Amino acid sequence: MLAKRIIPCLDVKDGQTVKGTNFLQLRQAGDPVELGKLYSRQGADELVFLDITASHEGRKTFTDMVQKVAAQIDIPFTVGGGISELSDVERMLSAGADKISVNSAALRRPELIDEIVSRFGSQVCVVAIDAKQDEKGWTCYLNGGRIPTERNLFEWAKEVNDRGAGEILFTSMNHDGVKQGFACDALSQLASLLTIPVIASGGAGQMEDFRDVFAKGHADAALAASVFHFGQISIPELKEYLRKENINVRV
């Protein structure tokens, strides 16, 4: 049976991880390649590296890092942040990334999804969606959650699915950073609406949240950052817990 995936996410700026970590055993705690290796050894199923650099220099550093990750890490990884055209996708894939994620650029110009899929295949194309729930429902946001759009989460997710994307990475802005659990209701609706896998992001605080995101939210994968980086949850313990809760994970 296909396993549910646990995915640590690393934010990278100028070649260094941004959110601090308490992995004292790492020689360079800020080195994303070292941290990625550690997660891989601990049983992470995939890794996501997000480039949060704005400068051109930083972009080049990020590409160098992607090459190092590809050479040193033997599990699949996705890279995202600042991918706005086909040439960015090509650069990341030739550096060795398995998948890329697009967010704002796809909302601004949805045809980008079709172009990536027809050129490189669905399996490389992850579309990240940041959305926030208010009295009007779930609204998609641009630029890391700074700019609201007119698009509704479910309507946009269905369009992304139908344009041939391989996966959707959905971050609930209401849940992100709050550590009170994932947006299981919205995730469950996405699971019944879509025919592609959904990666849940935003809200992981304790191990029970991961059980719920799979059992109640029907997510295919769960992504988290700080609970792993700060060692509040260790991946081997999490997987052992999930296995006992009858969630099929790779152990």
Partner 1 sequence: MKVAVVKYNAGNIFSVIHALQRMGVEPVLTDSAEELRSADRVIFPGQGEASGAMHYLREHGLDTLIPSLKQPVLGICIGQQLMCRHSEEGDVDCLGIFNADVKRFIPVRHQDKIPHMGWNTIQAYGSPKNSPKGGLLSFPYGGDGEGQFVYFVHSYYVPICEHTAAVTEYIHPFSSAMHKDNFYATQFHPEKSGEVGQHILKNFLEIEC
Q: Which residues bind partner 1 (CB under 8 A)?
A: 1-3, 5, 40, 45, 70-72, 74-76, 93, 96, 98, 120-123, 166-167, 191-192, 195-197, 218, 220-221, 250
For partner 1, give the closer residue by CB, 89 or 102. 89
Q: Under 8 Å CB-to-CB from 78, ≥6 apart: which residues? A: 46, 47, 48, 49, 97, 98, 99, 100, 101, 126
Q: Least distance to partner 1 from the beta carbon of 218, Å?
A: 8
**Cβ 45 to partner 1, closest distance in Å?**
6
Q: Could you tell me the smallest distance in angstroms from the CB atom of residue 226 to partner 1?
A: 24
> In this complex, which beta carbon is closest to partner 1, that of residue 5 or of residue 175?
5
Catalytic: 11? yes
Q: Which is nearer to partner 1, 94 or 180 (CB)?
A: 94
Q: Is 67 or 149 the residue whose CB approaches partner 1 more closely? A: 67
Tell me the two tokens of residue 129: 């969606």
Of 176, 80, 68, 67, residue with least CA distance to 124: 80
Least CB distance to partner 1 at residue 243 (A): 12
For the annotated catalytic residues, the residue numbers are 11, 130
